[in-house]
Amino acid sequence: MREAYPVERAVGIEYFVSDGDGVGGRLRDSPEDFRVREIERFDAEPADADPGAYPHLVVRATLREWDTNDFAKRLADALGISRERVSWAGTKDKYAVTTQLFSLRKIDKSDLAEVSIYDADIEVLGRSGRGIQFGDLAGNEFEITLRDTERPENAEEIRGQLADWADESAGAVGVPNFFGQQRFGSRRPVTHDVGLHVVRGEWEEAVRAYVANPYETEPEGSQRARREAEDAFEERDWQAALDAIPPRLGFERAMANQLVESGGDDPEDFRAALEAVPSNLQRLFVNAAQSYAFNKILSERLERDLPFHRPVEGDVVCFAEEVDGLALPDPDREQRVTERRVETVARHCERGRAFVTAPLVGTETELAEGEHGDIEREVLDELDLAPEDFDLPGEFHSTGTRRAILVRTDLAIERDPLTFEFALPKGSYATVVLREFMKNDPAEE
């Protein structure tokens, strides 16, 4: 197998499964080169339905170069409402053209008549009795164009290798369901380091990993600020740490400011510093640690040449439901694979009705048995993690789940320019598919 780049190995991705040279090229040369459209499983009543029974207005927004959170805040401001009255199913990449649903609580269609937001087209779909939630997202359709490719003719060969590896039919591919670079921070992949410290109860080390700890791929000004903050941590001078951090690093400043206020004398002070950032970022720290362990488990399964498209004895599989032709793994429908059931479950996997899983470890995680179970335990031991370690306060607590180790999709390729069209279930990364085709070093993008 072809070895991954250092910045990928830093987040647990050790290999490519296709050996061919990549097509190269540039991703996201313009927002229009990266188009994403949600695959929804959310039904709305007509727009003139009784707002008393259906208090949520449902809209579909097509956004150009908008961060989802930023757009939600801008929309709320334009309507003169709290941001908490705006909800959506999935957060999308900013440098893209994205189409997704939003629900607006206690808003009428007429309220939108005067709303005009730059690079945003808003279409009213109807009303609903509840707001849109994460579970309402089934997946995403992608249309992605690469510019200035060096070897576009290699795309078909790579597609064939990915089909063979996953035992897929013509036109379909499979890749390991890795968490992509953006899960950990594209320029500064340290989120999982913070999370590992949190799970181990190392609160000061967690704050230091986030606030200080310069990374060579981030801007020089940020590196310099973090080096100064590193010195301030050594001196226990929290005011100096705060003074060193520029306003653009807002979350880091929030942590440092909390240390100034508390004195930074004991572990609880550092935990409070971590809790000074938004709750979704607190959860992301732990999620990133889980994702890192997951990536390492998949890399080790690749190293041992164990199949991804079918189970071996001791594996845990989850069954899938089909939504608009997309096989959506359901981690709540699990089954441990015994020797007697291997071939039966393998047939379900081959038909897209079930998927082999690995853990996003948490307090309620049950590990696999057999060789894959050995891999899971060895990786957790290496990281000094155990399920009970995730019994943490507040937003840091996680019960865990399991996640499919393979993502498969029908994939269309067009030339001049080289364009890929495919769909993925929620939580899977388009960049994980594209990395197999491009073979670019993320550190140089």
Residues marked active site are found at 93
**Encoded amino acid at 296, one letter:** K
Please, which residues have CB within 8 angstroms of residue 28's CB and are 6 or more apart in sequence? 34, 95, 96
Note the residue count of the chain: 445
User: Mutual orientation of helices 430-438 and 155-165 as an angle, nearest 10°?
Assistant: 120
Task: Tell me the H-state helices in 169-278.
Answer: 191-199, 203-211, 220-235, 238-244, 250-262, 267-274
**Encoded amino acid at 253, one letter:** R
Residue 302 has a CB neighbour count (10 Å cut-off) of: 19
DSSP 22: P
| Phi and psi at residue 105, to the nearest 5° | -80, 130
Distance CA 428, CA 405 (A): 10
Distance CA 158, CA 436 (A): 8
Distance CA 345, CA 317 (A): 8
